[in-house]
Amino acid sequence: MKLWISGEIDSIVSDSFRVVRNYIEKNINNILASNNYGDGVLSWDVIVVISKDKGKEVFKYNKKNKETDIHVILDIDRFKTSDSLGRKMLLLDSLIYSVERLSTLGIYDFNNIKLKNDLHGLKEIIFNQHAN
């Protein structure tokens, strides 16, 4: 499985989002490469929406291609006023939320509980790195 993150991002936070996205995506893909979550999801595709025009959340699964189409919304004011650690936590929380929602789509052979636990572990690692 591989994570792909894109965004519909307001220009006022686009640079800070890009930095956080690259960091989180790299770290999660390292975790995904070294763990087995089943063959149910090959491409975990997430579009993060950080804009005053929020749109709506989307949670879809393509069984044939084993890929997701997820749109999650982050509050622009919270993202804008957060520091680097806060932004990382906001993005990680939205990804954990997306995994929780995937469990409602009836995906066969996908260990969402293990993935969710591993993402919580990553949150703890990142938090501890910032605390030192």
Mean pLDDT, 10 residues at a time, the chain of 132 residues: 97 97 98 97 97 90 96 96 97 97 92 97 93 72
- Whole-structure pTM value: 0.94
Task: Classify strands 67-73 and 43-50 as parallel, antiparallel or unpaired.
Answer: parallel
| Number of domain units in the chain | 1
Structural domain for 20, as ranges = 2-131
Q: What is the CA radius of gyration of the chain?
A: 14
- CB under 8 A, 24+ apart: contacts of 82-87: 84/19, 84/20, 84/130, 85/126, 85/127, 85/130, 87/16, 87/17, 87/20
